[in-house]
Amino acid sequence: MTQARRRSALKYRRILLKLSGEAFQNRRDGSSLDFGTFTSMARQLKAVRAMGVEIAIVVGGGNIFRGLPGEGCGIDRTTGDSMGMLATVINSLALQSALEREGLFTRVMSAIAMPAVAEPFIRRRAVRHLEKGRIVIFGAGTGNPFFTTDTAAALRASEIEADALLKATKVDGIYTADPKKDPKAKRYRTLTYREALEKRLKIMDAAAFSLCSENRIPIVVFDFFRKDEILRVLTGKPAGTLVTD
């Protein structure tokens, strides 16, 4: 398929991809980083970029540290959240390295100033990077405690005027209950933002849903590890769960 035909087939041309930190964890030995996973993700994103999609990414840091559980260890929430934000920068740099090994051009932008390793987040500069075909990785969440990386993803998606926020998970959408615990759980194919909030679905927090609702950014929750699933999402084929108006 030619590049022109790839572009014409796209439903979303600029995306914000949210990757959870847990996806980066090595399940075999319990270490924080699975570099094979980074490589696999990079190869998928290379195929997406080849379609002409502009890609921005927000990564979590839960494979390294989470602020809320840290309170149980005597770490106050503000300090713990700051540690969690720094963990997202570690993941951002690891993902950047994997993407560049695949020949892609990238920029890491941090909400916390650390000029030795990342650019500061400046909205206009981020948009310009995207227009030039660079993959932009947003680290350090919103730069503030008490906000999740889901909220950071919704905020950045709004700021860069993304066509969609893609929430990558290890399940193929949003279910009525945890499908790993309840065999009768059913997958939603579509939901409205209001339904997602009223049903208290825990796939994203309320602030993230509200931000996307206010800015009319559809959310697609899908299984990133299913072969070619992200390509199905981008071309508008049935995949995952779509949350919209």
Q: Please report where in the chains the tokens 């209950």 appear, as a residue.
A: 177
CATH code of the domain in which 41 resides = 3.40.1160.10
Phi, psi of 54, deg, nearest 5: -85, 125
Mean pLDDT for the stretch of residues 200-225: 90
Lowest model confidence (mean pLDDT) among 143-147, 169-173, 216-220: 169-173
Q: Which pLDDT tens digit goes with each residue over 154-183?
A: 999 999 999 999 999 888 899 988 888 888
Say how many domains are in the chain: 1
Q: Which pLDDT tens digit goes with each residue over 42-76?
A: 999 999 999 999 999 999 999 998 766 666 778 89
Q: pTM for the whole thing?
A: 0.91
Which is more confidently placed, 22 or 57?
A: 57
106 — pLDDT class (breaks 50, 70, 90): very high
Mean pLDDT for the stretch of residues 214-239: 92
Phi, psi of 233, deg, nearest 5: -60, -45
- Helix, strand, coil % (nearest 5) of the chain? 40, 20, 40
User: Rg (Cα) of the chain, in Å, rounded?
Assistant: 17
Range of the domain at 207: 3-244
